[in-house]
Amino acid sequence: MRMRPTLSWTPAGDLMPGTTDLEPVADALRTGGVLVLSGAGLSTESGIPDYRGEGGSLSRHTPMTYQDFTADAQARRRYWARSHLGWRTFGRARPNAGHQTVAAFGRHGLLSGVITQNVDGLHQAAGSEDVVELHGTLTRVLCLSCGAFSSRRELALRLEEANPAFAPVAAGINPDGDADLTDDQVEGFRVVSCTDCGGTLKPDVVFFGETVPPQRVEHCRELVRAATSVLVLGSSLTVMSGLRFVRQAAKEGKPVLIVNRDRTRGDQHALTRVSLPLGTALGTVAHRLGIDWS
């Protein structure tokens, strides 16, 4: 029986309330060696919605699973039609103040690394280096048959050529670049194949129901071991792929600090959770540290 992905969680017991006190975050950065773990909430100010926050996409949208994508040609057509339309908006997104501030922290030697659960590439666009993309990236496409990689922009051009009249109006865009379309709107959409072998193409992202490559997980665990503290930015930590690193840090006695408007699954492991908009919060911290992030 196929299992649906973990899309929500129910808080158990009393969790600490959010605060507006940013000094613990500033103190951690002053010490240096901070490992950033970012989620969809960091990109909302770039026009990309999150999954679980207020108005999050999961209230109207169930993400594609790996099992459905690989087993069902109709599911793949539906995914690529919706994703192709979403890419027109998603591919134009630009880094916001949060991404730029994280990059500035890195330039000033305050960070030991960045792990992101996002697939939008905005950390790198803002200037962050050596970013670990835990769930992959939408900017690259993988052939499931021969393993060849290709550019998403190249694929977008091929899909435009194959579907010149495709211009439906979407109800919304989701964090994975997937647009909300009806089955009628995707009817007749033509999916293209790998130019090398004719195989099935998949975005180089970890779908729900798919596992993060073990070597990537181990690299992230090494980053946690090397860090002085972990700073979570804009993640509910609902899925284990990110939560495990917070649990690891707490077990190793390293401070975990969270900046997220809503409660998270990792609150019980955190020294503090700051409930403020990320761009505002990180800009304030940068100012206190005398860092110009703009």
Known binder of ligand: residue 119? yes
229 labelled binding-site residue: no
Does 52 belong to an annotated binding site?
yes
How does 197-209 read in b/e, with b if 16+ C-beta sit within 10 Å?
eebbbbbbbbbbb
Q: How many CB atoms sit inside 10 A of residue 282's CB? A: 30
Q: Is 186 annotated as a binding residue?
A: no
Instruction: Tell me: is residue 237 an annotated ligand-binding position.
Output: no
**Does the annotation list 42 as a binding residue?**
yes
Say if residue 151 carries a ligand binding annotation: no
Q: Which residues pair with 115 in a beta bridge?
A: 37, 132
The residues facing 201 across adjacent strands are 143
Pairs from 64-71 (Cβ < 8 Å, separation ≥ 24): 64/176, 64/178, 64/207, 64/208, 65/2, 65/4, 65/5, 65/207, 65/208, 65/209, 65/210, 66/206, 66/207, 66/208, 66/209, 66/210, 67/2, 67/209, 68/209, 69/202, 69/207, 70/144, 70/200
| 278 assigned to a ligand binding site | yes
Q: Do the annotations mark residue 163 as ligand-binding? A: no
Residue 216 annotated as binding site: no
Residue of 61, 123, 135, 269 marked active site? 135
C-alpha 159/C-alpha 191 separation (Å) is 7
| Known catalytic membership, residue 135 | yes
Beta strands in 152-253 (DSSP E): 201-205, 229-233
241 is in an annotated binding site: no
Amino acid identity of 193?
S
46 is in an annotated binding site: yes
Q: 146: annotated binding-site residue?
A: yes
Q: Is 220 assigned a ligand-binding role in the annotation?
A: no
Q: Is the dihedral of CA 170, 241, 47, 41 positive or negative?
A: positive
- The single-letter DSSP state of residue 179 is B
Beta strands 256-259 and 229-233, pairing class: parallel
Catalytic residues: 135
Binding-site residue positions: 39-59, 117-120, 143, 146, 194, 197, 234-236, 278
Binding-site residue positions for NAD(+): 39-59, 117-120, 234-236, 278
Binding-site residue positions for Zn(2+): 143, 146, 194, 197
